[in-house]
Chains A and B, each alone.
Chain A
């Protein structure tokens, strides 16, 4: 056991930090206070910077434009970027689709898509959830019917983050309606400009437009856009879903927030600086810092396992649950510290910390729900991790 980073790893973290010092505006607190257009513009500009430094797809093999960097380096990168609330990352292209194509795509698909992702030229979105298929994802109903050399897609996807900015979508569709659940699903790549696709905005409770509903009305997609085998989409789409996912963003976000709060109440100019002499606040900060470190170690455990070739499965679920829960708790605590100021919305006169904590707390509500709700994660931990039996479903009566 060694609970320390290597000199090389520390040096890399420093490089990222210095880069961010250079390129982020002073007192940067994340893009949550910006307009959707401004935030998107900054995202793209930042992505180019990451491409220039060969960091955007550093985890990829060299042959696809990556640096073959170790899982530990990748997590350190994600940790530092999230800690500084830096924009520019592309989870859908670089972390989900890229590795999926490397594992299941054909040569043509790799040539066509991987380079564009690596150069930061294309925005992907993910078409998995549907209005009636959330946690029970295998029940998706969006149909794709083969008609000559094309699939014809009808149905609707929802909670499509970046759907309104995306050039392309990778989506799960039902290609065999006789196979009700996991079997009968395929993974398709779809150009968002195809005729018959309608993207409708969904504004979230933080008053931000990230989500969309995407309607498919006789959308024709070349057969060549099928990834992997027909009706094997569940395996293709799921294998990568939790791959390399350490969950460090949440622990990093929580770490950033608690450190920001400590600095904030220690500043005598802060209107709530009396909080620093409140013994309850001291105790609460000690508690939260302990929880943040506990969550962070789980993420690095997942990363270490990945590096050792041990398949992290339920460990990734643990880090997701722990990270998202502590992230929300720290933000709750931030609002408590801010008291009445906590209720001031971004842009309000007299807002403290830019009104960011309210916005972040609202946004963080999604974290315990997306990518498999925390309840689903706990089922995975109990069943895959602890070996507890699955509940026997009641037999269907007709």
Chain B
């Protein structure tokens, strides 16, 4: 066991902290939440220059070839700063294409993804908002050249910025297929932007007879289900890791506030009632931190641990959102205002706790994996 950062990871953490403090402060987070797409595009441009979309893509495909554990170090910082930028989407779709896609698809898409020329975002959910791969219903008809897709996917993050989606469809015989669909300026794809608590763009997409070439199919049949399960698990761990960073930031902010706010002639943070809230928050944040890095480590091996992924998302979803509410309690009236930044964290935590499976979804997965 080793809970310390490698040299590479320290480098990632330090450069991310420095960059994000400057480029993703609360004014940027608020601007993006208010629909400022230029602020979002400008941040993405800088993020691409830093090479973050390339981080976990293999060197042979133009990436940096780093591990999911290394990515997790970056994700905690992105979570702590609430950075409105689609690194999770980019990283997990690249991973699935790399692990399940054809050589041709990999050499076509991954170098462009590493360069930020394409952005592929997952489009998994439908009207029933189930993260079970088996429940996908969006129809695809087989043609000589590939597929023609008609249907709807909901809650697609950064769809407005994405060039492609990675989505699961059912072909004529009911066989599932995981496929990369170009959506950038595609006439057959309609976007409905949603008003979402996350503060980043989230849309539903309607596909009207969208043609996709055979080469864009990543996997079919059981392999498509396995790939989608892995996509969801990777997304769950990635979101949990962002939540871990978010939790750390909220603990720090609450310590800072309570150590300085005075009542009865002394800092409110000197009262045991407040200290015990904070001690529990700190324990929760550390536990989530360890669980997410343990899960991320399993993704750095061949395959991943279903149990660790589920445990990470269960704990992150429940503990970090609860921690945010307790932080509001510790902040008193000021934390209830729109002006104070605390609610930005709380809103993001609410969005992330359900993204890629809420705790109930992952508890069911975990129970099955424990032999129940």
Indicate whether B187 reaches chain A with its CB closer than 8 angstroms: no
Indicate whether A2 reaches chain B with its CB closer than 8 angstroms: yes
Indicate whether A23 reaches chain B with its CB closer than 8 angstroms: no
Bound Cα distance A289, B5 (Å): 26
Bound Cα distance A285, B6 (Å): 35
Bound Cα distance A31, B310 (Å): 35
Query: Which B residues have a C-beta under 8 Å from some C-beta of A?
Result: 1-6, 9, 69, 251, 255, 258-259, 265-267, 269-272, 274-276, 278-280, 282-283, 286-288, 290-291, 293-294, 297-298, 308, 310-311, 314-315, 360, 362-364, 366-367, 370-372
Indicate whether A388 reaches chain B with its CB closer than 8 angstroms: yes
CB-defined contacts of A262 to chain B, threshold 8 Å: 370-372
Check A290–B3 contact: CB distance below 8 A. Answer: no
Chain A residue nearest to B2 in the complex (CB): A2
- Measured CB to CB, the closest approach of chain A to B336, in angstroms, equals 22
Chain A residue nearest to B359 in the complex (CB): A287
CB-defined contacts of A33 to chain B, threshold 8 Å: none
- Measured CB to CB, the closest approach of chain B to A356, in angstroms, equals 21
Chain B residue nearest to A310 in the complex (CB): B4
The interface residues of chain B, by DSSP majority, are classed as helix
Check B298–A391 contact: CB distance below 8 A. Answer: no
Interface size on A, residues (CB 8 A): 49
CB-defined contacts of B1 to chain A, threshold 8 Å: 2-5, 72, 300, 303-304
Check A382–B278 contact: CB distance below 8 A. Answer: yes
CB-defined contacts of A287 to chain B, threshold 8 Å: 314, 363
CB-defined contacts of A385 to chain B, threshold 8 Å: 279, 282
Check A386–B371 contact: CB distance below 8 A. Answer: no
Check B364–A283 contact: CB distance below 8 A. Answer: yes
Check B370–A297 contact: CB distance below 8 A. Answer: no
Bound Cα distance A4, B294 (Å): 9
Check B311–A290 contact: CB distance below 8 A. Answer: yes
Chain B residue nearest to A315 in the complex (CB): B286
B311 in complex: contacting residue of A1, A2, A294, A390, CB < 8 Å: A294
B290 in complex: contacting residue of A281, A294, A377, A388, CB < 8 Å: A294
The interface residues of chain A, by DSSP majority, are classed as helix
Identify which of A5, A303, A392 gathers the most chain B CB atoms within 10 Å of its CB: A392
CB-defined contacts of B287 to chain A, threshold 8 Å: 294-295, 297-298, 322
Check A294–B291 contact: CB distance below 8 A. Answer: yes
B272 in complex: contacting residue of A1, A377, A379, CB < 8 Å: A379
Could you tell me which residues of chain A, from 342 to 398, have a CB within 8 Å of some CB in chain B? 375, 377-379, 381-383, 385-392
Bound Cα distance A146, B251 (Å): 51
Check B297–A3 contact: CB distance below 8 A. Answer: yes
Check A378–B297 contact: CB distance below 8 A. Answer: no
CB-defined contacts of A392 to chain B, threshold 8 Å: 265-266, 270
Check B4–A318 contact: CB distance below 8 A. Answer: no
Check A301–B290 contact: CB distance below 8 A. Answer: yes
CB-defined contacts of A318 to chain B, threshold 8 Å: 282-283, 286
Check A388–B366 contact: CB distance below 8 A. Answer: no
A386 in complex: contacting residue of B282, B291, B367, CB < 8 Å: B282
Chain A residue nearest to B254 in the complex (CB): A386
Bound Cα distance A129, B278 (Å): 28
Check A293–B372 contact: CB distance below 8 A. Answer: no
Check B294–A378 contact: CB distance below 8 A. Answer: no
Check B310–A286 contact: CB distance below 8 A. Answer: yes
Check A3–B293 contact: CB distance below 8 A. Answer: yes
Check B311–A266 contact: CB distance below 8 A. Answer: no
Check B297–A388 contact: CB distance below 8 A. Answer: no
Q: A318-B282, A385-B282 are in contact. Are A290 and B270 (CB under 8 A)?
A: no
